[in-house]
């Protein structure tokens, strides 16, 4: 399948092929990929540090910028330590081969991101999934599988990437305590948007003491790339000592690593961007009825061909929206995945809603 070719992207617009469109596919929820203050900082860091890390952290690349950013982000979140990775996929793919063993049980939500599933499959641990956001089913799974296991991990997302709905964190914390499990929350789509000054979904729910590991990805609301696992010293030191994708990969470019720290500082100060994002989400939801209250707005269509047709109609009308299908989402649940950002204008959102309504009737 041909992927749409992007020739130019700025704010809420994208030139796709030869057509300028309003972009509703971006995970750059706060418009940070084009934030002037952040770009100026990264340009300065580029002059200061150069481009590449020149080696893995363990060999020649352990620059103080990484240590400063790790310490800063961990403090911002409220955890003792953090370890950076080149991407969320790389991080999630390596967690369980590092921390878990043959006698571990890993329980994930059914809709957990593919990177976590791949990560479990890279380990020797047993994987069991519970029905999406179904705490009762999680308790049944724990009852059935937890005995004889040396350690149990429960893995959830804060906001699910294809559904935009939120996990029942507090109820899951109760079960985690009951079974003395390690609770891991992937905050890829919530960091920067929730909590005090953007410090995340777990903090918004005062869950910091009960969530053992938080996974942050910086390619979304930070407008950059890279990722960080934040946790206690023991887990972070184990990752730094043993994790193969940390040890055997060239570290993130230094300007990006420095930009991650700067982005968190700007996010802490710029509440206006979050307010604008929330206003845009509310506007969209007054026009189109969906099950999500977050910036990720799925419009479930069901049949793959129909979803592709709707996508085409929107593209023809100048709205860059993508449909997603199995295996990214369950079979028969093809959908449009619309993402709302702070860069959208009210006019753009109203026009999209009208085009969506028209696409279904024509
Ligand atoms: C929930 C979740 N975790 C992890 C990732 C991977 O992050 P990255 O894009 O930095 O590889 C994604 C990416 O979409 C995601 O949605």
334 lines ligand 1 (CB under 6 A): no
Q: Tell me, yes or no, whether 278 and 316 share the same domain.
A: yes
Prior bond to 327 cis, omega within 30?
Answer: yes
Mutating to test ligand 1, I would choose from 113, 223, 328 the residue with most ligand atoms within 8 A of its C-beta, which is: 113
Q: Tell me, yes or no, whether 43 and 179 share the same domain.
A: yes
For position 282, which CATH number holds? 3.90.1150.10
236 lines ligand 1 (CB under 6 A): no
Q: Which domain holds residue 195?
A: 36-268
Residue closest by Cα to atom 7 of ligand 1: 88
Q: pLDDT > 90: what percent of the chain?
A: 94
Q: Tell me, yes or no, whether 283 and 341 share the same domain.
A: yes
Domain boundary among 244, 268, 292: 268
Tokens of 210: 């009960």
Tokens of 96: 């369980």
Give how far Cα 307 sits from Cα of 14, 95, 294, Å.
21, 35, 21
DSSP annotation of 198 reads: G
Report pLDDT for 1: 59
Please check whether residue 276 lies inside any domain of the structure: yes
Q: Tell me, yes or no, whether 142 and 57 share the same domain.
A: yes
Position in ligand 1 atom list of the atom nearest CA 90: 11
Report pLDDT for 10: 87
Look up tokens 């696409």; give the residue.
359
DSSP annotation of 158 reads: S
Please check whether residue 336 lies inside any domain of the structure: yes
Domain boundary among 249, 268, 287: 268
Q: Tell me, yes or no, whether 127 and 212 share the same domain.
A: yes
Confidence band for 2, pLDDT divided at 50, 70 and 90: confident
Mutating to test ligand 1, I would choose from 219, 256, 329 the residue with most ligand atoms within 8 A of its C-beta, which is: 219
Find out whether 359 and 353 touch, Cβ atoms under 8 Å: no
212-266: per-residue pLDDT in tens?
999 999 999 999 999 999 999 999 999 999 999 999 999 999 999 999 999 999 9
Tokens of 238: 């184990």
Mean pLDDT, range 320-333, rounded to an integer: 94
Say whether pLDDT at 362 is over 70. Answer: no
Q: Tell me, yes or no, whether 236 and 284 share the same domain.
A: no
Find out whether 105 and 125 touch, Cβ atoms under 8 Å: yes
Please check whether residue 328 lies inside any domain of the structure: yes
Q: Tell me, yes or no, whether 234 and 343 share the same domain.
A: no
Q: Tell me, yes or no, whether 264 and 279 share the same domain.
A: no
Find out whether 185 and 156 touch, Cβ atoms under 8 Å: yes
Find out whether 154 and 184 touch, Cβ atoms under 8 Å: yes
For position 191, which CATH number holds? 3.40.640.10
What mean pLDDT, rounded, does the chain reach? 96
Please check whether residue 1 lies inside any domain of the structure: no
Q: Tell me, yes or no, whether 62 and 178 share the same domain.
A: yes
> Alpha helices, DSSP H only, in the chain?
36-49, 64-77, 88-99, 114-121, 135-145, 169-178, 201-204, 233-242, 244-247, 254-269, 271-287, 304-316, 346-361
Please check whether residue 52 lies inside any domain of the structure: yes
Domain boundary among 207, 234, 268: 268
* Number of structural domains in the chain: 2
Confidence band for 354, pLDDT divided at 50, 70 and 90: very high
92 lines ligand 1 (CB under 6 A): yes
Look up tokens 């939500």; give the residue.
109
Please check whether residue 314 lies inside any domain of the structure: yes
227 lines ligand 1 (CB under 6 A): yes
161 lines ligand 1 (CB under 6 A): yes
Find out whether 310 and 334 touch, Cβ atoms under 8 Å: no
Please check whether residue 232 lies inside any domain of the structure: yes
95: phi then psi, degrees, rounded to nearest 5? -65, -50
Say whether pLDDT at 130 is over 80. Answer: yes
Confidence band for 154, pLDDT divided at 50, 70 and 90: very high
157 lines ligand 1 (CB under 6 A): yes
Q: Tell me, yes or no, whether 26 and 76 share the same domain.
A: no
25: phi then psi, degrees, rounded to nearest 5? -115, 0
Model confidence, pTM: 0.96
56-101: per-residue pLDDT in tens?
999 887 999 999 999 999 999 999 999 999 999 999 999 999 999 9
CA distance 269 to 266: 5
Q: pLDDT > 70: what percent of the chain?
A: 99
Beta strand pairing status for 334-339 and 296-302?
antiparallel
Mutating to test ligand 1, I would choose from 89, 94, 226 the residue with most ligand atoms within 8 A of its C-beta, which is: 89
Please check whether residue 342 lies inside any domain of the structure: yes
Q: Tell me, yes or no, whether 186 and 322 share the same domain.
A: no
Report pLDDT for 61: 79
Lowest-confidence range among 3-17, 45-59, 65-79, 200-214?
3-17
217 lines ligand 1 (CB under 6 A): yes
Report pLDDT for 219: 98
Q: Tell me, yes or no, whether 95 and 127 share the same domain.
A: yes
115 lines ligand 1 (CB under 6 A): yes
């Amino acid at each position: 399948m041909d992927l749409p070719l992007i020739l130019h992207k700025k704010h809420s617009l994208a030139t796709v092929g030869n057509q300028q469109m309003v972009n509703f596919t971006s995970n750059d929820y706060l418009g940070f990929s084009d934030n002037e203050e952040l770009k100026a900082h990264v340009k300065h860091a580029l002059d200061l540090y150069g481009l590449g890390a020149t080696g893995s952290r363990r060999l020649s690349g352990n620059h103080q910028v990484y240590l400063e950013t790790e310490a800063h982000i961990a403090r911002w979140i409220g955890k003792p330590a953090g370890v950076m990775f080149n991407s969320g996929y790389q991080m999630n793919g390596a967690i369980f081969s590092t921390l878990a063993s043959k006698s571990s049980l890993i329980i994930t939500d059914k809709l957990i991101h593919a990177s976590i599933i791949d990560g479990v499959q890279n380990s020797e641990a047993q994987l069991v999934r519970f029905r999406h956001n179904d705490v009762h089913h999680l308790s049944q799974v724990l009852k059935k599988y937890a005995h004889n296991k040396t350690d149990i991990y429960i893995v959830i997302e804060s906001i699910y990437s294809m559904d935009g709905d939120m996990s029942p964190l507090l109820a899951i914390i109760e079960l985690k305590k009951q079974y003395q499990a390690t609770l891991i929350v992937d905050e890829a789509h919530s960091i920067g948007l929730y909590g005090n000054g953007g410090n995340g979904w777990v903090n918004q729910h005062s869950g910091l003491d009960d969530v053992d590991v938080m996974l942050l990805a910086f390619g979304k609301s930070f407008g950059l790339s890279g990722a960080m696992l934040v946790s206690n010293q023991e887990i972070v030191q184990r990752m730094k000592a043993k994790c193969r994708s940390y040890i055997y990969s060239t570290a993130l470019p230094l300007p990006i690593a420095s930009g991650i720290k700067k982005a968190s500082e700007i996010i802490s100060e710029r509440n206006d961007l979050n307010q604008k994002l929330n206003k845009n989400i509310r506007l969209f939801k007054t026009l189109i009825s969906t099950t999500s209250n977050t910036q990720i707005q799925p419009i479930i269509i069901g049949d793959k061909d129909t979803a592709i047709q709707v996508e085409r109609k929107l593209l023809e009308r100048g709205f860059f929206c993508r449909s997603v299908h199995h295996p990214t989402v369950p079979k028969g649940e093809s959908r449009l995945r619309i993402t709302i950002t702070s860069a959208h204008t009210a006019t753009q959102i109203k026009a999209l809603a009208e085009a969506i309504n028209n696409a279904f009737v024509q």
